[in-house]
Amino acid sequence: MNALLDMLSHLQQLADMGGPVLLFIIALILLLWLLLIERLIYYRTALRGDMALCVDAWQQRRDRHSRRAQQVRTALLAEIDQRIDRFLPMIKTLVALAPLFGLLGTVTGMIGVFEAMGVAESGGARAMSSGVSRATIPTMAGMVAALSGLIGLAGIDRLGRRAKARLANSLLMDDTATVGAAELVSKA
Per-domain residue ranges for the chain? 2-187
Amino acid 177: pLDDT: 45
Ranges of residues in the chain with a pLDDT under 70 are: 120-127, 130, 173-188
pTM equals: 0.81
For residue 187, give the nearest of 42, 79, 84, 47 by alpha carbon. 47
The residue type of 123 is: G
